[in-house]
Structure formats: structure tokens, C-alpha cells
Chains A and B, each alone.
Chain A
Amino acid sequence: MERPGRPASLAARMTLWYALSTFSLVLMASGFLYHALSESLAHDEDALLSEKFQNLTVRMDDRTSDLNDLREFVGELPMWYRNASFWTRILDDQGRLLTETPGMSHSLPLALFKTLPSKNGNPMATSTEGRPFRIFSATGIWTGHSPPSRVTAQMAVDITSDQAILAKFRAELWTVLAFAILACALVGYGIAQRGIRPVRKMAETAARISSSTLYERLERSGLPSELSDLAGTFNEMLDRLENSFTRLSRFSSDIAHELRTPLQNLRGEAEVVLTKARQPSEYQDLLGSFLEEYQRLSTLIDRLLFLARAENPQTQIQREEVDLKKELGLLQDYYGPSAVESGVAVRVESLEGLRANLDRSLFQRAVGNLVENALKHTPAGGTVLLRASNGGERVRVEVADTGRGIPQEEVSLVFDRFYRVDPSRSLASGGAGLGLPIVKSIMELHEGTVEIQSQTGRGTTVVLSFPAFSQETGHEKEAGSSVVVDYSSHSN
């Protein structure tokens, strides 16, 4: 797996690829051009040889041609055609020398002409003096001889100057290639840097963003489309982070408030009572009040601990089979008198025999919290309805009240820890604000969901939905390993 490249190494890779590919092109072009030139020159040389041979055969076709004619053809001196010396040797049908250009035996002996031509053209050979030649050998009929006999003509053209042209071209090409390597590298580098620049800029902006500058966002205008999408996604992530951060700060200050209030009471009450001697009963009252505040703090801490534990992915719950109608009935019995005191009725609606596999104490806690909330917010004359129903594999438990309702914009916020609809956080209108987060955690532990439907002035319905029987098996109450604390520490 490649490790993610920082902009620098990505630029280096791009530079390398650009440089290599452009350089390869230059290399291939050079090679092609050289080959073309080389072929062209060889072709001309072959053409010259063929032409000269043609001349010879024409002459030999003349009945009047005799040895002198041949000698004349071959020449006293090597003949110069276009700066290339030309040599000819003619052998009779027995391979004996008839005539040849003077000096040829020395410079271009018989042995050289043994090489057969290939399909690529006539072969090359080097003279005794070290000069390059293109050589040619063919047979023809000398009609001037009686009887007409077959002769072999060996021809050679000096290709030194052609070779020089090629050599010069080669040298020039090497120079071009050398410059090309540098140029391609530089151009490649330039292109890569240019391409990388928006990424670098993004990285710089991102590096600057910290918890104190979470409001900053990446600039999207002017970015190429692919990076623009990336920047957009990044900005959305920053939105979420900023949001979480704000909620966390608010959480910290809320937790401080909730902890301070009971502490304030404890301290204040003690200070006041201790200022002078009191009756024993006053001290008893004070201590009793202390116990109440301790209970408040202790409950708060337990609830926070519960929430923290519930977040741990390792946490599992103890499920058992419960009859929902019965469970809701128990809750109705429990909360009934409290409801009556507030002038509110509690009703249960449930199908018979509706069963599910749940952690019983967590379920009670969730529904209990909801009922307590409902009772706090429903005025006299209202109703709190507990309803259980099923749909396929899932079970629905609803707690519906005819109370004050929750404003639409706050519905998603109420699941935040410590969130209170009442901004003064007064004790009369609610608790610490952990009830709904706990309900949500409990539902998550049961692989379920919780939803709120509310209308201000009409009422609120909280819907719990969860699978009736979990896919997990084997977490019956007796098995004891890695199970979340059941909230009460009573075991008998």
C-alpha cells in the first residue's frame, strides 16, 4: 500500500514521470531520424552501385567491346563520383582477373567480396587503409568476347563522407538528448509544481486551523474541480468539528453548573448553621439535607458514568425475555399516584403477548425517564399514554403526553447531555438534563432508535423502536462475562 504522499513527494513523482515521458519521446524521435538518414544514405550508395553495374552490362552487351573497353571502364584511376571514389574489378568465368581499378588488389582484395548481400542492401567492408566501402558483386555476359562468356564484376564505393555525415548527426543528436534530459526535467518540475500548488495551499490553510481558529474554511473559488470537491468535503468536516466543539464547551460548563449547585447548598447550609449553637434537631435536619444533596450528586455521577460506559463499544447488556404489556403495567402502577397528584392520568395500550428480549432494568430506566419527563411537562387534566406495538421484527414503545411540547428547533438538541429546554435550568421544571441522553444510550445498546415528535402546546410523543429479538445469542442473565453494570447494586 503506498503511503499517502505529502505534496513534496507527489511533485517529485510527477516531475519524474513528466521528465521521463517527454525525454522518451525525444529519444524515440532522435532514433527515428537517425535511422531514416542512415537508410537514405545507404539507399543512395546502393543506387550508385546498381547504376554503375548497369553501365557495365550495357557496354559488355556491345559486340564490339573488347578488353580495352573494359579496361577503360574500370579506369586508370579510381573514379570520383560525388566525392566518393569508385572501384571496379572484373573476373572471367574461371575467376581469373581480367581487369581492375589500379590499386584495388591492395586496398580491396578479393577476400572482402565474399560477403553475400542481405535483404537490407549491399554489405559494407573496410579497405586495407581502413576506409569504409559499400561493396557489390554480380555476374554478367560479355558478348564482346568470343564466345560470349560470363564475367563477375566486383564494385565498391567509398562511403567515408556518408559515414562522416552520420557521425556528425549522431554527435548532434547526443547533444540534443543531453539538453533534452535537463529541459524535460525542468519542464516536468515546473508543470508538477504548478499542478501541486493548489494542494499546497490547501495544506497550508489546513495546518493553520486549530481549536482556536475552527471558524476558518478552505477557499474553494479558483480551485480545479477535483480539489474543489475535496475542499468542500473538508469544510463540511470542519463544520462538524466546530459544532462538536461548541457542544463540548457547553457540556463542560453545564456539568460544572450541575455539580456546583448541590455543592453550593452543602457548603452554604453548613456555614449558616455553624455560625452559632443550634438545637440538636436543627443539626439533624442539616445532616438530613446533606444526605439529600449527596444523593443528588451521587445520582448525577452515576448517570454520567453510565453514559460513558454505554459509549464503550465493548459494552454488552443482559437480555431476558419480557412481556411488554406486563412491564408497562408495572410502570403504570409505580407512577400512577405521582401522576394523580399532578392531575394527570397514566394509561397503557398494548397488544397481548407482545414479547421482546431486553435488558429489563435498562428498559425500565428508559421508559421511566420518559414518563418522568412527561409528568413534569404535562399540566393537570392531561394524559400520559404508554403504548407498545410491533411491526415485523421490531417493537415500538411510545410514551405520549398532552403537555407543553418541545419547540421544533430544539428537538435535535434535547439528546445532548445536560441540555435543558428551560434555560434557567431550574429544578422545578426538570432534572440535570441527562434523562434523554440516557434513553438514547439505552436504545443504542439495544440496537434500537429513539425519535421525538412534538408540537408546542399539543404534546410530545417519544418513540422507542428496537428489534424484538436480537441476532446476538447467548447473553442470558446467567452468563456473567463483560456485561455492563446493571444500575442498581442490589443482587438479592
Chain B
Amino acid sequence: MKILVVEDELKTAAYLEKGLAENGYTVDRAGNGEQGFHLALGGSYDLLVLDIMLPGKDGWSILEDLRRLGHQSPVLFLTARDAVEDRVRGLESGADDYLVKPFAFVELLARVRTLLRRNPARSPESLKIADLELDAVHHKTQRSGRRIDLTPKEFSLLYLLASRGGEVLSRTLLAEKVWDMNFDSDTNVVDVHVRRLRSKVDDAFERKLIHTVRGVGYVLEDRGQS
């Protein structure tokens, strides 16, 4: 998958390129609007990550011109301005998503994945990772054949981590998706929930599946023997 990053701030552009490349994408960079626009025209990219505030041609006009010329590739806007007018304007101009700086890199990654997904998001009815099995229809969980009793919310949390297995999910995302909490609560609250989940799902087993990525969030994956 080819991604074009148009960002004039050097450090930002550099880490975006590095991060995306390490996650398996091919990344090109442009440091100003004109350059970005020309690359986009010629390059057939699967996704454009556009900063709005650019010297020369700004993000808005790049997008408008591309759309006018018939380019349909998805666009993700980045900006330090978070007024909702800007967000609405962006979406109306044909952008597919919008991220406000500073953002967590995992956030960007998640959105990039979503935008590049060819099929609509699947919610599989059953999941299996290592010896963990989840039955979404009956809300049943087991590991190595042993049944684990989880509350509805605990199941939702586990299911979310498992369905996005390998992807680090931030505490903010977890709070929103599992508990429908849409504000910056004390992150410790999520930690407590995860601790409880771990005590039921991981503690009794040698192979730990739920991992903490310090400063970023949690990820569920099989890392072999811990």
C-alpha cells in the first residue's frame, strides 16, 4: 500500500514516514503544498496524509483540486486547529477523516487501517488467538478449554482487544468503545478494568496475551512464551 505524507514540519514528517513504513506501508514524503500536489497527481497513492497548514498551496486547495480532477483516493487531514468548523469543512470538501494534533501515533495507524480496508469492517462471531477462544454470539470465553466468566463489559473489552489483535489500542479509545465514555477521564480507570480482565484471562495461564505498551496503550497478541 502506498501512502503520500505531505507535511512541512520536518520531525513530524520523519516520524510519520518511519512509523508507517515499519508498519508495512510504502511511504513518500513532500515538504510543501506544490510538491505534494504534483506527487499526488502522478503517483497513484492508496492514501494521502495531508497537513492543512502548508506553505504555498494549503491542504484545502490540494484536496479540492484533486477531487475536481477526479482523484478519489482517500485523504486523511492533519491539523493543529481543532475548531469543528474546520472539521466539517474538511469532510465536506471530500476528506475522509481528520486528526487533530497532537495525536497518538496508534490513532493515526488505526485510522489509516480503517481507510485502507477494502471490505467493510468485519465483526467476526468467533475469535481465536493462541488458546483463547471467544464466542460473540453467546458471549462465552474460554482458554485451553477452561471456561472464563466475564461480565458483559469485560467481554466487550476482551473482544475489542482480540478483534484488533496486534494493534495497540489507547486507553482513550478503549474508554470510548467499551464504556461509551467520550471525554478525557483519568486513564487509571481503564487500567483498573484491564487489570481485572488480566486477572481472569492471563493470571492463571503461563502464556500472557494482554500486554501493556507503556505510554501508548494495550495490545492483545501472542508473543510466544513470556
Contacts and interface: CB of A to CB of B under 8 A. Distances in A.
Given A292-B214, A334-B179, A337-B192, A490 B184 contact: no
A368 B214 contact: no
Nearest to A490: B176
A337 B100 contact: no
B56 interface: no
B186 A295 contact: no
B10 interface: no
B189 A485 contact: no
B172 interface: yes
A487 B84 contact: no
A364 B85 contact: no
Contacts of A338: 188-189, 192
A485 B182 contact: no
B216 interface: yes
B206 interface: no
Given A292-B215, A372-B186, A485-B84, A334 B102 contact: no
A290 interface: yes
Contacts of B213: 288
Interface string A281-305: 0001101111110110011001100
With most chain B CB atoms within 10 A of its CB, the pick from A290, A303, A480 is A480
A169 interface: no
Nearest to A483: B84
Nearest to B216: A291
B185 A341 contact: no
B166 to A, nearest CB: 19
Contacts of B111: 492
Given A338-B189, A489-B103, A491-B97, A360 B182 contact: yes
Nearest to A376: B186
A372 B185 contact: yes
A334 B181 contact: yes
A330 B181 contact: yes
Contacts of B182: 360-361, 364, 486-488, 490
A368 B172 CA distance: 14
A412 interface: no
Nearest to A287: B215
B215 A299 contact: no
Given A338-B188, A489-B100, A484 B172 contact: no
B197 to A, nearest CB: 10
Nearest to B171: A295
Interface residues of B, number: 38
Contacts of A372: 185-186, 189
A334 B216 contact: no
Contacts of A291: 214-216
Contacts of B153: 333
Interface string B46-73: 0000000000000000000000000000
Contacts of B196: 337
Interface string B161-203: 0000000000011011001111111111100110010000000
Nearest to A298: B102
Find the residue from B84, B103, B153, B187 having the highest chain A CB count within 10 A. B84
B215 A334 contact: no
Q: Among B98, B99, B187, B192, find the residue whose CB has the most chain A CB atoms closer than 10 A.
A: B192
A372 B102 CA distance: 25
B203 to A, nearest CB: 16
A146 interface: no
Contact of A302 (B98, B107, B184, B192): B184
A254 B42 CA distance: 53
Contact of A487 (B98, B183, B187, B192): B183
B183 A491 contact: no
Nearest to B81: A485
B149 interface: no
B192 A489 contact: no
Interface in B100-129: 100, 102-103, 107, 111, 114
A333 B155 CA distance: 13
Contacts of A113: none
A279 interface: no
Contacts of B175: 334
B82 interface: yes
Interface in A339-371: 341, 360-362, 364-365, 368
A485 B184 contact: no
A484 B184 contact: no
A335 interface: yes
B14 interface: no
A294 B102 CA distance: 10
Interface in A470-489: 480-489
B204 interface: no
A431 B185 CA distance: 12
Contacts of A294: 102, 215
Nearest to A301: B102
Query: Which 10 pairs from chain A and chain B are nearest by CB?
Result: A291-B215, A288-B214, A365-B183, A361-B182, A480-B88, A288-B215, A334-B179, A489-B100, A337-B192, A338-B192
Interface of A: 284-285, 287-292, 294-295, 298-299, 302-303, 330-331, 333-335, 337-338, 341, 360-362, 364-365, 368, 372, 431, 480-492
19 contacts: A285-B214, A288-B214, A294-B102, A294-B215, A295-B187, A299-B184, A303-B184, A334-B189, A335-B189, A338-B188, A360-B182, A362-B183, A365-B183, A365-B184, A480-B84, A488-B172, A489-B103, A491-B87, A492-B111
Given A303-B184, A338-B189, 9 more contacts: A291-B216, A330-B179, A330-B180, A335-B189, A360-B182, A368-B185, A485-B83, A487-B182, A492-B111
